[in-house]
Amino acid sequence: MKKFISRQFIGVLALLFSSAGMAASIIVTPSTANPIEGDPFSVTVSGVDFPSTAGATLRLSWNPTVNVTSIVLAAGSPFTGGIVAGPFPTTSPTLVTVLGPLVGTLPSGNFDAFTINFDALTPGDAGIVLFDDGADLCWTDAVTFGCVTPANYTQASVNVNPVPAPAAAWLIAPAMLAAGRFSRRRKAA
């Protein structure tokens, strides 16, 4: 009986400490949620509560209000193999592949993986989405080389704003209205 209980206990522990027992989260954080039309901005993709990770292959999509200019490893990223994606700049959905070193200590726990740089083109919702289907598009566990599941995403919410009117326009408009009223009063008199 004790052997059976200890085997069950070891099995539960193995499940808890394997990738299947670890719910990883991916957080996509924009440098600004409201960039101005014509300005550059970026989003950083971070992993939280990850097992040892070999890398990721994900689909990146966005609306035509923005344009991807580059994808680079985030400052201090544990991935040293680099990124395969492009060509840049591009206005159509692309694959993002991040490779881990596969030697030494592999990325685990919490880390910034990569940064996606954008140009804000026109006003509107940027619609930035990283897609992970849990099959061929997914974060890869370095132990089993299977998908890290479940992988929960917090996507970026970015809305491009139009270029604001210059401050001088706001000062000139009331002056023009006042001048028009003054002119009408002079004509009436």
Does 1 fall in a domain? no
User: 56: closest CA among 143, 147, 156?
Assistant: 147
Task: Give the global pTM.
Answer: 0.73
| pLDDT tens-place string over residues 141-165 | 888 888 988 889 999 999 999 988 7
Does 178 fall in a domain? yes
- 180: CB partners within 8 A, 6+ apart: none
Candidate from 6-15, 28-37, 140-149, 169-178 with smallest mean pLDDT: 6-15
Cα atoms in the Cβ-side hemisphere of radius 13 Å centred on 186:
6
Does 180 fall in a domain? yes
Interatomic CA distance for residues 19 and 12, integer angstroms:
13
| pLDDT tens-place string over residues 62-106 | 999 999 998 888 877 777 666 666 677 877 788 888 887 666 566
Candidate from 3-7, 98-102, 108-112, 138-142 with smallest mean pLDDT: 3-7
Domain span at residue 35?
A: 22-188
Does 16 fall in a domain? no
pLDDT at residue 53, as a whole number:
82
Does 10 fall in a domain? no
Q: Residue 10 pLDDT > 50, yes or no? A: no
Does 34 fall in a domain? yes
Q: CA torsion 91→92→98→99, rounded to 10°?
A: -120
Domains in the chain, number? 1
Amino acid identity for residue 58 in this structure? L
pLDDT at residue 88, as a whole number:
78
pLDDT at residue 21, as a whole number:
46
In which band, very low, low, confident or very high, does the pLDDT at 8 lie, cut at 50, 70 and 90?
very low
Over residues 111-120, mean pLDDT: 92
Does 44 fall in a domain? yes
Domain with 71 in it: what CATH number? Answer: 2.60.40.680
Does 116 fall in a domain? yes
- Strand-pairing partners, residue 152, are 25
